[in-house]
Amino acid sequence: VSLMANRTLNRWIYAFVTLSNSVQSHAASEYNTFVGLSFSLAPRLTAAVSRADRWGGLSAGHTGTSQAMVQQSLPVGPGLGYRLVLSQGANQVNQANVQYQGAYGRVEADYQQVGYDTGEAGHASVTATGGIVLIGGRPFITRPVQESFALIRVPGVRGVRGTLSNQDIGSTDSRGDLLIPNLLPYYGNRVGINDKDIPLDYDIGATEKLIAPPYRGGMLVPFPVRRVFSVAGTAVVRERRATIVPAYGQIVVERDGKKAISPLDEAGNFYIENLSPGSYPAEVQYETGVCKFNLVVPQGPAALADVGTVECVVPEKEAK
């Protein structure tokens, strides 16, 4: 016969009690009690204290064990976890366990002492585990892959934090890659990137995707980003032997089948966004006509290219 009761005392403390009685024909009745408190100290940190007692049974006496435990679970990504258990009495177990997992593997140190006599020698061990995964055209050294994995790819952007179910799991390397080794197979895993880590001169698409990788298989999850280049300069028109400032006209540039338009101020200055380095068909539209030319945007480290004075020459046969 068993009776169990539990109650949440507040948002941090949980209490539980178990009472049981067993009757055997060849031994005295046995009575057991188990009481304890569990504490939620932080999102990954818990603690508990408990007391277990037994009366009667085959030993026909009383035994009991008091125990205290504190535990911090491993994070989803790199980080530290540990478990400390201290107990006294019958069937006591004392344990210290520390685990650290990083991007390239997991290390665990464990010590256990079991028995009545605290003077007994315990058992200690240290283990290190890891794995190698080939995905996205390159190998990765990683933590053990037990079920499924995925590769987040933010092409060419380093230091972007990746997330799994809105929890940070690491940052992209110099190529913009981040391996996630601990996904659930065949179920939806919500992976993403933190857009706050993307430089301001980049255009960002999706920041989260839902994927379902196969068992012990992987998926490449690209998050395309595009660096936003802008160009500024001053347009002038050469018509016959005259130089014309196309004041209050506009410059039209064709890119990817679309037109980018910038007005010209009184000095012929223009500014065009989202224009990557390259050569583009363009035209200057001004009060007395239209002049066509190729606008060349030079390659450079800066997000804003200043092309200086751009001269558009009107062919003689079109000059007025």
Quickly count: other Cβ atoms within 10 Å of residue 213's Cβ: 20
Residue in the structure block whose two tokens are 């004075």: 309
Distance CA 155, CA 137 (A): 13
Quickly count: other Cβ atoms within 10 Å of residue 256's Cβ: 9
Query: What pLDDT does 290 receive?
Result: 92
Mean pLDDT per 10-residue run, the chain (320 residues)?
90 93 77 94 94 81 90 91 91 90 93 71 89 93 91 94 92 94 92 92 89 93 88 92 92 91 95 88 92 90 88 77
CATH code: domain 131-226 is 2.60.40.2610
Q: Are 220 and 227 in contact (CB under 8 A)?
A: no
Q: For the chain, what are the domain ranges?
A: 2-127, 131-226, 230-314
Distance CA 280, CA 119 (A): 83
Please return the burial class of 34, using the count of CB atoms within 10 Å of its CB with bins 0-12, 13-18 and 19+. Answer: middle
Hey, what CATH class is 230-314 in? Answer: mainly beta
Query: What pLDDT does 116 receive?
Result: 58
